[in-house]
């Protein structure tokens, strides 16, 4: 029988990786909490229409990457490819529009059928935030600042560059769309098949193309900046002023776009050169028409998401493995007391490990492998006196200590 392997594009999150992931999630949750963002979670699968409405039939995610299946009732369900759509759906279906502004933090697995690469998997994990119900530029400033703060707390902000652009308002986008379509139509023979399809259905998506021929065409395309209304230009100026006031550095990238109609105004990405082709670490923008597209009221929104696997490649030091106290019974007669002591220590908030078998030498070797700071050695002589030998695993120093109140002694040394 062939050896079973993980499905292509998935991987096991082993203990060291899991600690790094937990460090990223816990850090982001704590920082988001300081900004008033409460944690929530949505199901990992939704009715397919949730994503078709929000991501659009022309997006690569919908046309190429979604894991969609029919359940036993014949309903079309999709494993979530991103988190924002579920949050918007929850706002509508759970009546959360009565509690605006709504600030939420989320994290969890997402699923996309992409070609697996470093930092890009078919089951991957994200952290994200959404701010719903704030229409003004201060909302954009806060969300970008929160993203920068999370990256700073993780120790990776200096390894990234914040790229910033405006998508303008509806009038700006309509004028720009006309100019872009005219420009690209004159160069149809130089565009890839995918871009020709996008030109007919969603021309702004052409600007996302990674095809080298497309990139050469795009380099000379008109800029959205030249088609901004006075109101859209003012909105972007206020966003930039807010970021400047907070000392958040950025570079303007006029080619940074979101191709769906409900995206507007601010678009941003924190990128890095340290991950090869997968350079986007955290990305987001404003999506004022999204909730309305879900059948809800006209609720403005802005948010971002970040890939945990990509962040884990940048984070140098995650949460270290706990350094336990090793409880070492000497002889079978001491095991029952050692088991009780181990449980006492755990209930006192001290990480403790006894192991399951072995003589003194083997148990001490295990204590070394666990990187234990202290070992509590229980032999027959010690137990007769209700004492234990406490060994410092780093210095080798030993002392005789009473079992009564040993939790306090260990806590002091730890």
Per the listing, tokens 């998401």 go with 305
Is the bond leading into 334 cis (omega within 30 degrees of zero)?
Answer: no
**For tokens 């080298």, what's the residue?**
212
Nearest Cα to Cα of residue 215 among 206, 224, 204: 206
pLDDT of residue 106: 98
Residue indicated by tokens 């959205």? 224
pLDDT at position 206: 84
Of the candidates 60, 50, 31, 132, which has an alpha carbon nearest to the alpha carbon of residue 91?
A: 132
CATH number of 325-413, picked from 1.10.540.10, 3.90.960.10, 3.30.2010.30, 3.40.50.800: 3.40.50.800
192, two tokens: 């890839």
Alpha-carbon torsion 164, 167, 172, 175, what sign? positive
Question: Which string of DSSP letters, residue by residue, matches 337-400?
Answer: HHHHHHHHHHHTT--EE--SS--HHHHHHHHHHTT-SEEEEE-HHHHHTTEEEEEETTT--EEE
Helix (H, G, I), strand (E, B) or coil at 253: coil
Question: Within 13 Å and on the Cβ side, how many CA atoms surround 295?
Answer: 11
> In this structure, what token pair is assigned to residue 61?
């995610």
φ/ψ of 59, rounded to 5, equals -75, 150
What integer pLDDT is reported at residue 45 of this predicted model?
95
Question: What pLDDT shows up at residue 304?
Answer: 97
Rounded to whole angstroms, the Cα distance separating 378 from 169 reads 73
Q: Where are the beta strands (DSSP E) in 221-355?
A: 251-252, 264-271, 280-286, 301-307, 325-329, 352-353
Sheet holding 76-79, edge to edge: 45-47, 76-79, 68-70
Strands 352-353 and 325-329: parallel
Q: What's the confidence (pLDDT) of residue 361?
A: 85
Please state, in angstroms and rounded to a whole number, the distance separating the CA atoms of residues 24 and 346.
26
Sequence ranges of the domains in the chain: 15-169+229-314, 325-413
Tokens of 232: 């859209």
Q: Which fold has domain 15-169+229-314?
A: BirA Bifunctional Protein; domain 2 (3.30.930)
Intervals of the chain under pLDDT 70: 1-2, 56-63, 119, 259-261, 277-278
- What the block records as the tokens of 194 is 């995918």
Nearest-angstrom CA–CA distance, 287 and 314: 29
Q: Which residues pair with 252 in a beta bridge?
A: 164
**Please, is 233 exposed, middle or buried when counting C-beta atoms within 10 Å of its C-beta (0-12, 13-18, 19+)?**
middle
């Amino acid at each position: 029988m062939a050896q079973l392997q993980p499905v292509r594009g998935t991987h096991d999150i082993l203990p060291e990786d899991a600690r790094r992931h937990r460090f990223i999630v816990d850090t982001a949750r704590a920082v988001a909490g300081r900004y008033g963002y409460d944690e929530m979670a949505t199901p990992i699968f939704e009715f397919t229409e949730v994503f078709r409405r929000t991501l659009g039939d022309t997006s690569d995610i919908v046309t190429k990457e979604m894991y969609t299946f029919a359940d036993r009732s014949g309903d079309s369900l999709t494993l979530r490819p991103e988190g924002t759509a579920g949050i918007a759906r929850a706002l509508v279906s759970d009546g959360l529009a009565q509690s605006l502004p709504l600030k939420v933090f989320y994290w969890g697995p997402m699923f996309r059928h992409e070609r697996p690469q470093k930092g890009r998997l078919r089951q991957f994990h994200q952290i994200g935030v959404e701010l719903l119900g704030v229409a003004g530029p201060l909302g954009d400033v806060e969300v970008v600042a929160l993203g920068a703060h999370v990256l700073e707390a993780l120790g990776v902000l200096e390894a990234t560059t914040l790229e910033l652009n405006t998508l303008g308002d509806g009038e700006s986008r309509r004028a720009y769309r006309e100019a872009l379509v005219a420009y690209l139509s004159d160069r149809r023979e130089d565009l890839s098949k995918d871009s020709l399809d996008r030109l007919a259905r969603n021309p702004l998506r052409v600007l996302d193309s990674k095809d080298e021929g497309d990139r050469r065409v795009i380099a000379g395309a008109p800029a959205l900046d030249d088609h901004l209304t006075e109101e859209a230009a003012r909105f972007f100026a206020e966003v930039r002023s807010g970021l400047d006031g907070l000392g958040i550095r950025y570079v303007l990238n006029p080619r940074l776009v979101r191709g769906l109609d409900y995206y507007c105004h601010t678009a941003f990405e924190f990128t890095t050169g340290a991950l090869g082709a997968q350079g986007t670490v955290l990305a987001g923008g404003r999506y004022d028409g999204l909730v309305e597209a879900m059948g809800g009221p006209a609720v403005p929104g802005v948010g971002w998401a970040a890939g945990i696997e990509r962040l884990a490649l940048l984070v140098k030091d995650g949460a270290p493995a706990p350094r336990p106290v090793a409880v070492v019974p000497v002889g079978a007669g001491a095991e029952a007391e050692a088991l009780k002591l181990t449980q006492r220590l755990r209930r006192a908030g001290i990480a403790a490990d006894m192991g399951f078998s072995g003589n003194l030498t083997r148990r001490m070797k295990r204590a070394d492998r666990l990187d234990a700071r202290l070992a509590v050695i229980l032999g027959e002589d010690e137990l007769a006196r209700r004492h234990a030998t406490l060994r410092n695993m780093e210095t080798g120093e030993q002392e005789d200590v009473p079992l009564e109140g040993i939790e306090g002694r260990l806590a002091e040394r730890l």
